[in-house]
């Protein structure tokens, strides 16, 4: 699958799960549980210990069953390293232009971080496939709706403070997808290996997104 199919897959899912765990093995189990619940887009942040190895391990264990991306990427060198490790998309908390350029070089999906309408427009002009809005909880779903009114072409992905209770509001406001982390992947579930609960929660979240899109 190529870049365009990966973009379509992210849009179709509507959910990007930011995952963290104490080991590659645990993270593989988390990814499997999410995939079984119908959520197959995961983001492994570069703040994860041994992140590059984790990306390789998850790709090796699950292949194309999940779409693995790298998060918290701040520069071109790190972007390249994550891509060579197997990341199919690259996410940054900031508008790092060299990250966009590097992702383009390798034909990977890129999602830079923005906050203001000007930053969102700039990211889109530079060729961002998606525009991450972070931290989204500061402004809420209404902000997305207001921004999209004059710029409906933006594929906005709000991240930060997203919960199972408000994810539907962001989707209904026009988000192309939403980034969610510990509100879905609860630390005690991972610690106690209660992956069946994670699968059930992922399935419920997917239903919430689909309902919001149909509203």
User: What sign does the CA torsion over 192, 196, 202, 208 have?
Assistant: negative
Q: What are residue 15's DSSP bridge partners?
A: 178
* Torsion of Cα atoms, 71 then 15 then 13 then 122, to 10°: -60
User: Got the DSSP string for 75-127?
Assistant: SHHHHHHHHHHT-SEEE-SS--HHHHHHHHHTT-EEE-EE-SHHHHHHHHHTT
207 is catalytic: no
The CA distance from 151 to 82, in Å, is: 31
Name the active-site residue from 12, 88, 132, 194.
132
Q: How far is CA 172 from the centre of its chain?
A: 18
The CA distance from 78 to 167, in Å, is: 30
186 is catalytic: no
Strand order in the sheet with 67-71: 109-111, 89-91, 67-71, 41-45, 15-19, 178-180
Name the active-site residue from 32, 43, 88, 108.
43
Q: What is the three-class DSSP state of 177? A: coil
Q: How far is CA 120 from the centre of its chain?
A: 17
* Residues labelled as active-site residues: 43, 132
């Amino acid at each position: 699958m190529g870049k365009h199919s990966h973009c379509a897959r992210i849009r179709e899912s509507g959910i990007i799960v930011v995952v963290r765990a104490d080991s590659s093995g645990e993270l593989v189990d988390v990814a499997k549980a999410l995939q079984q619940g119908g959520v197959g887009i995961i983001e492994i942040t570069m703040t994860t210990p041994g992140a590059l190895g984790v990306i390789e391990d998850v790709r090796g264990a699950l292949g194309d069953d999940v779409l693995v991306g790298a998060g918290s990427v701040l520069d071109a060198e790190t972007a390249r390293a994550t891509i060579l490790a197997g990341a199919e998309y690259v996410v940054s908390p900031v508008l790092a232009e060299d990250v966009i350029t590097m992702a383009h070089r390798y034909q990977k999906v890129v999602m830079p971080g923005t906050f203001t309408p000007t930053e969102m427009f700039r990211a889109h002009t530079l060729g961002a496939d998606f525009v991450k809005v972070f931290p989204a909880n500061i402004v809420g779903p209404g902000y997305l709706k207001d921004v999209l009114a004059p710029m409906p072409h933006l594929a906005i992905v709000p991240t930060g403070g997203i919960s199972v209770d408000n994810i539907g509001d962001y989707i209904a406001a026009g988000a192309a997808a939403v980034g969610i982390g510990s509100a879905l992947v609860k630390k005690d579930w991972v610690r106690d290996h209660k992956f069946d609960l994670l699968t059930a929660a992922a399935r419920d979240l997917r239903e919430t997104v689909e309902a919001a899109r149909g509203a």
